[in-house]
């Protein structure tokens, strides 16, 4: 079993205690780098802080393809209680695995075939690799909320909240330079407030993201015995 690079989390050290009262629609989170440029493909999710908020469930499997010996997407997010659906679009076998944390799995996927992971019952990070092509890497974040997504190329993620209450917004990416870095902001959704223009928050990261590892074979060698 080959090791893969350890992921980096957002550090739980920054809290904003000022609460904003807004209508439950069109919350825009904008993630910026230290130079105030929008950062795309960053996970953003919102978690209610009150236990009486009823949240919908999204159990549709998240599709992750293997094509050109790469995971696509490299970074994804899904809700607790769902599963990962792997689709091998290469013309050879992959041996997918994730051995860290509670959402562990390992299986082979032959060319052109699909494979579904066990149900992901635990929130947390999943770091994935391939036992045949050891340069392949990918990440999935499992969250306990249906309000999740990734920023677009302008660094923005939009959410539609229908339940009133206090929420926490968290930004995450495995290539954050600071280990265990988490950015959290608290706000309140008031369902009795009249509809307003989209409410936007800007979150500036203290460090620039590290480059995504190159997903290609550096040695031009593949270990295929047994496959």
Least confident of 50-64, 96-110, 113-127, 188-202: 188-202
In a domain, 190, yes or no: yes
Instruction: Tell me what pLDDT residue 184 has.
Output: 65
Domain that holds residue 151: 1-55+147-208
In a domain, 95, yes or no: yes
Partnered with residue 166 across adjacent β-strands are: 188
- Looking at 94, 113, 144, the residue that finishes a domain is 144
Separation CA 39–CA 173 (nearest Å): 11
pLDDT tens across 120-173, in order?
Answer: 999 999 999 999 998 999 999 999 999 999 999 999 999 887 776 778 888 999
Tally the domains of the chain: 2
pLDDT tens across 106-134, in order?
Answer: 999 999 999 999 999 999 999 999 999 98
Q: Is 140 in the same domain as 84?
A: yes
pTM for this one? 0.82
Q: Is 158 in the same domain as 107?
A: no
Q: Is 51 in the same domain as 163?
A: yes
Tokens of 212: 């995504």
The per-residue pLDDT of the chain, averaged, comes to 80
List of residues 6+ apart from 101 with CB closer than 8 A:
122, 124, 125, 126
In a domain, 226, yes or no: no
Q: Is 11 in the same domain as 82?
A: no
In a domain, 78, yes or no: yes
Going from the C-alpha of 173 to that of each of 5, 140, 199, the distances in angstroms are 13, 10, 23
Here the CATH number for the domain that contains residue 132 is 2.60.40.420
Q: Is 13 in the same domain as 40?
A: yes
């Amino acid at each position: 079993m080959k090791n893969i690079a350890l992921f980096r989390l957002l550090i739980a050290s920054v809290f904003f205690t000022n609460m904003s009262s807004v209508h439950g629609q069109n919350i825009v989170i904008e993630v910026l780098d230290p130079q105030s440029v929008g950062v795309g493909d960053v996970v953003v999710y919102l978690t209610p802080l009150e236990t009486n908020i009823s949240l919908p469930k999204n159990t549709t499997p998240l599709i992750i393809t293997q094509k050109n010996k790469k995971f696509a997407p490299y970074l994804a997010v899904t809700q607790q209680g769902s599963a990962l659906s792997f689709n091998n679009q290469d013309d050879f076998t992959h041996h997918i695995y994730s051995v860290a944390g509670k959402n562990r799995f390992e299986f082979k996927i032959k060319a052109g075939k699909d494979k579904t992971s066990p149900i992901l019952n635990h929130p947390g990070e999943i770091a994935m690799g391939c036992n045949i092509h050891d340069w392949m890497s990918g990440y999935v974040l499992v969250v306990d909320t249906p309000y999740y997504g990734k920023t677009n190329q302008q660094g923005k993620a939009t959410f539609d909240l229908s339940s009133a209450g206090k929420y926490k917004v968290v930004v995450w990416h495995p290539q954050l330079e600071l280990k265990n870095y988490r950015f959290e902001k608290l706000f309140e959704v008031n369902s009795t407030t009249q509809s307003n223009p989209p409410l936007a928050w800007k979150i500036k990261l203290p460090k620039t993201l590290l480059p995504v590892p190159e997903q290609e074979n550096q040695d031009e060698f593949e270990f295929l015995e047994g496959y």
